[in-house]
Structure 1
Amino acid sequence: MTDTGFSPERIDTGKPHSARMYDWFLDGKDHYPVDAEAAQRVLELFPGVKDTAWANREFMHRAVRFVARQGVDQFLDVGTGIPTEPNLHQIVQAVAPSARVVYADNDPIVLRHAEALLRGTPEGRTAYVHADVREPERIVECAREHLDLTRPVALSLIALLPFVTDEQDPHGVVRTLLEPLPSGSHLLLSHGSAEFDPELRERIVAVYRAGGTPVQARSLAEVTRFFDGLDVYEPGVVPATRWLPEPGMRVVAEQPVYVGVARKP
């Protein structure tokens, strides 16, 4: 387990954080009252938000297992969030015990939990980088310390890009993260949809912004653009529950989140 740039004093319990709100949506316990209050306001506006969070989480499980079965044994997960079992490395290392996983997040509390919970197999390796997705070059350089970038890497961006506004060039961020990865690398991505009740969307966005977190939902076309230049696996970019559904999924109803998995030629 490795970390960089962490200081416990940086944990801000005075305003909500998206990772801790997401933990609340997943019925976790690793959040503060300010996070629960903001998440509750979102729930009041959008009663289905917990199902959306779980559909997103279940997509991650299916997607990383799918990619590991393609023979990819290196994963870079940016925007890790609070660990909720099973974690990405647990799923991947169940398929490939020697797999290496690097987690990156910008919330110091995530690191505290990562140190305690993100333990890989004896054969594999699990590392943590304290970094912000808006600093993609730094993430890549830190990842080089743990991953072999001459071999395929799976880049996981799950429920992260809504927190990178257009002014922060999200497509440029994704290109920067993908550019050093070799042919055969993969992109796994999920993103909240802008194609549902516009008024409701703006009210939810306002809750996040009130807590100091800009957020932006995007359309199917905008989400699909993140996969430009990549070979997208069937069924394409679709709502989360329609991506290779499996028996026993907790959420089966369609949710306002688009997902996709693609391979770098």
Structure 2
Amino acid sequence: MSSSPDHQPDELAGTEAPFVSHLIELRDRLLHAIYGVAAIFALLCFYPGPSHVYDLLAMPLVKSLPEGSKMIAVGVVSPFLIPIKVTLLVALGVALPWVLHQVWAFVAPGLYRHERRLVLPLVASSTILFYLGVAFCYFFVFGQAFPAIQKMAPASVAVSPDIEAYLDFVLTMFIAFGVAFEVPVAVVVLTRLGIVEVAQLREFRRYFWVAAAAVAGMVTPPDAVSMIALLIPMGMLYEVGIWASGFFMTYSAAPDEDGGSSGRTDA
């Protein structure tokens, strides 16, 4: 006997697991994520080594320093501790896809098909966009901003940045650009949740540019190059988000939103 179109069986029926099983699964996924980060950290410590990893991070600034100038370490243990901290952060960044895979493997069985169609592309795209934001900041923004900042320094000032202060600055910039490149993901999520509509996003375009300029002015160094370097990608990615919103509204629609039956069993 066929079921009524309005009462299709729940596609997750029979997949429920005891609470203890969920805890065990969560523990295993966390351990796998930690093992992945630890393995990459150990590899980076072996080659090229924490000091070389920090040298690579500091390269954009060191290249802009006056000839003969070097960075300094104010803290007693900073020459040892800061490179180790940088190496750990790099290991976490490199292992991020593996960590997100563990998260996805834990939550995916509890999602409906249309929910997986939305979540998986957003997780993958947000990771790629964050990497692009960090790479853009390191290869382009630093290369333009640091020489401009050095030119502003008075001739009576010896420029010797502290390695710990530099790490804090770099992390702030990486997070700022990484998050700024998530604009398309934020736009898609807001649209999919019904908070805004695509037509409203188009009307909000001019206000977004003003807000983006304010954000770029607050998080970037005090030079026009860095501000524009963040503002223009944010504006372009906003347009990408508007385009992607229309696609995801259809691609990730629930069956009842498509005019079909609901994927959940009615009470």
- TM-score, normalization by structure 2: 0.25
- TM-score, normalization by structure 1: 0.25
- Higher-Rg member (1/2): 2
Specify which structure has the higher proportion of helix: 2
Specify which structure has the higher proportion of strand: 1
